[in-house]
Amino acid sequence: MLRTQVAIIGAGPSGLLLSQLLHRNGIESIVIERQAPEYVEARIRAGLLEWGTVDLLNEAGVGDRMMREGLVHDGFELAFDGRSHRIDLKGLTGQHVMVYGQTEIQKDLADARAAVQGQTLWEARDVVIEEFDGPRAKVSCVYDGKPLTIACDFVAGCDGYHGASRASVPKDRIVLHERIYPFGWMGILADVPPVSEELIYAHHSRGFALCSMRSKSRSRYYVQCPLDDTVESWPDARFWDELRARLPPHYASLVTEGPSIERSIAPLRSFVAEPMRFGRLFLVGDAAHIVPPTGAKGLNLAGADVRVLYRAIVEYYRAGSETLLDEYSSRALGRVWKATRFSWWFTTLMHKLSSDSFTHKLQLAELDYLRESRAASQAVAENYVGLRFAAP
């Protein structure tokens, strides 16, 4: 049997970030991951960071490369009805966001974990969390072909929607809220320069489109598609034609085509589980909540959970107080529901919801109101850069 202070289930960004922050505060952890490191590192996910997430990565000591290579953005474009309106994040809130891919964050965190020789159990199977209602918890798994048990003070479930952490909670103790959207995003990654230096969110009668980037030479583009579409039905030529058709002419003319290096269709959903604490077990990130990618809140919400949880654990070991641990779920969920509301609102505003002309006209009216109203644009900007954290 192994013994540690905190067992962290999942070696994605939230799990490794939590382990790094705990290490810098003298707290031991073991990270348990069911996949191989190459698989986790290769996952292509989010790329837009709220500045609070940037600050947290710097606090963890893993932000040097991000600060050198990340792209700081002061605004983004809303394109609709052949026009566009820039949301001036810096002017409206005094804050920025940063484009820096999750793949790069994963590399930085993995390097930091290796540098401190932190224990990570890769390809651990059949993970089960036990006794989390008692004074100590246990995590059992099969590692290197042998049964293994880890005794710990706390378990952080950072293992995503399909992981073992939430599944370990009895169904009568957890409430699940869900909204499934009737469309998906067909996305490609290509080594071509971006259409614009800032992100473009486009509303069009043919469907939503997003122009984003991972660097000054690598672009990430999306178009709304039916849920039953397949990647094979979207060859590159069709994708580029559809992307241009959904952009205002001045942006469409700037699209540089190139062969895709990654193609995928992502379904959209909103999901929240509550509470997020069960005795010694704490749910973090996608294990507790999922938002549609419109507005890029997923990774940032996971970072916010980590911020609340690591400070609560530090207080416990330094001061013997469980106050912040007791407040974890309510603090985290307060932010989760606000971000879920914004992601739902932004998704329903920008996507083609039906062939109903009434709905389409209402969307255009709201977008036009955003263009005319500083107050409305400021509300969007405040949510986009990330709402401020309440003390502590």
Report the catalytic residues: 73, 201, 293, 297, 384
- φ/ψ of residue 39, rounded to 5: -65, -45
On whether the CB atoms of residues 162 and 328 are closer than 8 A, the answer is no
Q: State how beta strands 29-32 and 277-278 pair.
A: unpaired
List the Cα angle 49/55/56 in 5-degree steps: 90
What is the rounded CA–CA span in Å between residue 206 and residue 164? 40
Beta strands in the chain (DSSP E): 2-9, 29-32, 48-50, 71-73, 75-80, 83-88, 97-99, 119-121, 125-130, 137-143, 146-157, 175-190, 200-203, 209-213, 219-225, 260-274, 277-278, 281-283, 289-290
Helices 374-385 + 323-350 axis angle, to 10: 130
Cβ neighbours, 10 Å, residue 273: 20
On whether the CB atoms of residues 307 and 388 are closer than 8 A, the answer is no
Among 120, 143, 119, which residue's Cα sits nearest to residue 41?
Answer: 120
Read off the tokens for 258: 């190139």
Distance between first and last Cα of the chain: 36
Helices 51-59 + 298-319 axis angle, to 10: 40
